[in-house]
């Protein structure tokens, strides 16, 4: 962390939590960091709150690959993206002073909607019907028309997102050292006309997944990009791929992804 000195804090302006955040800012300054008001000037971006706050910090700062993201939780529960607890200042100081910090790279998925808008996701892309009717999507893997889905929606998750929405849909937890995307269905309707694989599947990072939405009246699904929702009318094609985008975060000793999974779920 020696050469990285400009730190930006991203947090919800909750008056109850401000005193703790102020203590954190003071600690950072005492340790020689320059706390900046503009994330563009930062090379360390700290998301304070929990996994949701970390996802917001990454999204709002534009998924920068030239800075280090740090997650600090203020909740009792362990968090998958947060290596520090807001009250565990000793651990933070130790990490800074002993250089006991390695960089860990988390793969991110790239989403193109109708060849125009481009978005990134750290947890997942979710495409859900915004009305009570089922949503139909043609699922293509590269150039192969793989299946026609009809149901509530589809979730495409990254490895670090595999412990979130994907896991609630019985998807597998995936090691983030494997850059890949997991495709999972939400309440698919299976009958003689519509048939889907019925289980989640994992795609290599060099594959492209395309979800094509027929213009049948239900073509304005809710698009979830981690914890942000987009509502776009007349969507035709959603392309999802991994182009090598990553975000960097801290890795403390004895705190691998699998330590966190164990701590959170077992
Ligand atoms: P939220 O709906 O308030 O909370 C969702 C929960 O998921 C929170 O406990 C959050 O942790 C946790 N979480 C977030 N990312 C995680 C990860 N990678 N691994 C394990 N747990 C994770 O929304 P939020 O806090 O802003 O988080 C957004 C995420 O919620 C979405 O990206 C999606 O994955 C997930 N989600 C899940 C479902 C579901 O399981 N049915 C439905 C919608 C969304 P914190 O409390 O530390 O924030």
Domains of the chain: 6-107+246-265 (3.40.50.10330), 109-241 (2.60.200.30)
Of residues 115, 135, 142, 248, the one with CA closest to residue 203: 142
In this structure, the residue with its CA closest to atom 28 of ligand 1 is: 227
- The pLDDT value recorded for residue 62 is 97
- In this predicted model, what pLDDT tens digit does every residue of 121-179 receive, in sequence order? 999 999 999 999 999 999 999 999 999 999 999 999 999 999 999 999 999 999 999 99
Q: Which atom of ligand 1 sits closest to the CA of residue 56? A: 26
Which pLDDT belongs to residue 213?
Answer: 95
Which has the higher per-residue pLDDT, 10 or 95? 10
Structure tokens of 257?
């992804």
Local confidence band at 100 (pLDDT 50, 70, 90 cut-offs): low
Instruction: Give the Å distance between the CA of 157 and the centre of ligand 1.
Output: 12
Q: What is the pLDDT of residue 3?
A: 62
Q: What is the pLDDT of residue 180?
A: 97
**Active site (catalytic) residues:** 51
- Given a cut of 60, whether residue 2 has pLDDT beyond it is no
Query: What is the per-residue pLDDT across 17-76, written as a single tens digit (0 to 9) for each?
Result: 899 999 999 999 998 999 999 999 999 999 999 999 999 999 999 999 999 999 999 987
Pocket, ligand 1, Cβ cutoff 6 A: 50-52, 55, 75, 79-80, 123-124, 160-161, 163-165, 168, 226-227
Give the number of C-alpha atoms closer than 13 A to the C-alpha of residue 63, restricted to the C-beta side. Answer: 17
What is the distance between the alpha carbons of residues 118 and 100, in angstroms, rounded to a whole number?
Answer: 36
Instruction: Select from 14, 12, 48, 13 the least CA-distant residue to 28.
Output: 48
Q: What is the pTM of this model?
A: 0.95
The per-type count for the chain, helices as H runs and strands as E runs, is 5, 18
Q: Are 70 and 247 in contact (CB under 8 A)?
A: no
State the pLDDT at residue 220: 87
The band of 233, judged by pLDDT with boundaries at 50, 70 and 90, is confident
């Amino acid at each position: 962390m020696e050469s990285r000195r400009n730190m930006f804090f991203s947090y919800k302006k909750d008056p109850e939590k401000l005193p703790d955040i102020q203590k954190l800012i003071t600690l950072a300054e005492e340790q020689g960091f320059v706390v900046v008001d503009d994330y563009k000037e930062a090379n360390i971006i700290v998301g304070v709150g929990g996994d949701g706050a970390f996802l917001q910090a990454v999204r709002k700062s534009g998924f920068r690959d030239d800075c280090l993201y740090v997650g600090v939780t203020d909740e009792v529960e362990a968090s998958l993206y947060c290596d520090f607890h807001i009250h565990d200042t000793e651990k933070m100081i130790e990490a800074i002073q002993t250089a006991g910090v390695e960089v860990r790279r988390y793969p991110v998925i790239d989403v193109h909607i109708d060849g125009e808008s481009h978005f990134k996701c750290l947890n997942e892309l979710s495409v859900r019907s915004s009305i009570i009717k089922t949503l139909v999507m043609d699922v293509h893997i590269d150039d192969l028309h793989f299946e026609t889905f009809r149901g509530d929606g589809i979730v495409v998750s990254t490895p670090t997102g595999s412990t979130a929405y994907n896991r609630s849909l019985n998807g597998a937890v995936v090691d983030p050292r494997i850059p890949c995307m997991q495709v999972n269905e939400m309440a698919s309707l299976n009958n003689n006309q519509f048939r889907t694989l019925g289980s989640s599947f994992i795609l290599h990072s060099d594959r492209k997944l395309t979800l094509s939405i027929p213009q049948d009246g239900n073509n304005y699904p809710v698009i979830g990009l981690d914890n942000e929702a987009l509502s776009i009318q007349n969507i035709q094609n959603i392309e999802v791929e991994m182009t090598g985008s990553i975000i960097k975060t801290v890795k403390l000793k004895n705190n691998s992804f699998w330590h966190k999974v164990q701590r959170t779920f077992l």
